[in-house]
């Protein structure tokens, strides 16, 4: 039970982050609108591979801090809390911004290039590792056993491919796409509020 609640909270926080529209959403939705579904699903797996790389790197960095510079853990928690509060504010400020999609200008691609495009999109966004580092230090107890960190990587990977597989499957249908875009404001605000709470808690704990 000591680790179950933090892992469930991690699942909820990262799932909201995945659902909130960003560059990964734009990529998958464009591919789904202008290519066969296997192409978009290949890009989803690329995003998932990038998620494993960034989340593993974030956990490795956290382990190094705990082992060699325990005093920096508090500073890392404060920095992570400030970053999450910044994200929360940005999400609230830009919640009404439209999602720009122009599938007519999207070229047809094959599954393997789509996979590499998804991987490159994830790896080219260093904010991902900062986000993972922030929520891991916020939600996972210090000196957790190895299985907790493995479970954390599996959770964020499953959230990423699970959500974007839904996007790839449904966004070829105009009605589904429009319904999601119409709810963007409330999705971003829910994400912003949740991240703000985590950030404030992180700073308070530090």
Residue 152, pLDDT score? 95
Of the pLDDT bands very low, low, confident and very high (cuts 50, 70, 90), residue 133 is confident
Residue 176, pLDDT score? 72
List CB contacts of 17: < 8 A, sequence separation 6 or more: 131, 191, 195
Return mean pLDDT, the chain: 84
Of the ranges 9-18, 22-31, 57-66, 124-133, the best mean pLDDT one: 9-18
Q: Is the pLDDT of residue 127 over 70?
A: yes
Note whether 17 and 188 are within 8 A (CB): no
Tens digit of pLDDT for each residue in 61-103?
A: 887 777 766 677 777 778 878 888 888 898 888 888 877 665 5
Q: Greater confidence, 123 or 105?
A: 123
Residue 194, pLDDT score? 84
pLDDT, average across residues 132-156? 89
**Cα-based torsion angle of the residue sequence 97, 49, 199, 95 in order, rounded to the nearest 10 degrees:** 10
Residue 103, pLDDT score? 53
Tens digit of pLDDT for each residue in 141-151?
A: 878 899 999 99
Structural domain for 33, as ranges: 4-205
User: The dihedral of CA 106, 109, 112, 113: what is its sign?
Assistant: negative
pLDDT, average across residues 117-126? 88
Residue 13, pLDDT score? 86
DSSP per-residue string spanning 129-176: HHHHHHHHHHHSPTT--HHHHHHHHHHHHHHHHHHHHHHHHHTTSHHH
Percent of the chain at pLDDT > 70 equals 90
Closest CA to 41 of 172, 156, 201, 197: 172
Number of domains present in the structure of the chain: 1
How many helices (H) and strands (E) in the chain?
Answer: 9, 0
Residue 159, pLDDT score? 95
Of the ranges 11-15, 34-38, 171-175, 199-203, the best mean pLDDT one: 11-15
CA distance 42 to 161: 10
């Amino acid at each position: 039970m000591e680790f179950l609640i933090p892992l469930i909270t991690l699942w909820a926080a990262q799932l909201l982050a995945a659902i909130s529209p960003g560059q990964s959403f734009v990529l998958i939705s464009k591919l789904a609108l202008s290519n066969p579904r296997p192409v978009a699903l290949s890009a989803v797996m690329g995003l998932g591979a990038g998620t494993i790389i960034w989340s593993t790197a974030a956990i490795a960095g956290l382990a190094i801090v705990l082992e060699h510079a325990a005093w920096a853990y508090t500073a890392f928690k404060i920095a992570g809390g400030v970053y999450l509060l910044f994200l929360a504010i940005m999400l609230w400020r830009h919640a009404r911004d439209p999602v720009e999609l122009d599938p007519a200008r999207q070229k047809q691609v094959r599954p393997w290039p789509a996979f590499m495009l998804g991987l490159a999109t994830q790896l080219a966004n260093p904010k991902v590792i900062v986000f993972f580092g922030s929520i891991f230090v916020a939600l996972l107890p210090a000196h957790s056993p190895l299985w907790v960190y493995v479970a954390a990587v599996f959770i964020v990977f499953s959230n990423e491919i699970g959500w974007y597989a839904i996007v790839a499957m449904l966004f070829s249908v105009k009605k589904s796409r429009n319904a999601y875009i119409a709810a963007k404001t409330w999705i971003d605000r829910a994400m912003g509020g949740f991240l703000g709470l985590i950030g404030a808690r992180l700073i308070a704990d530090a």
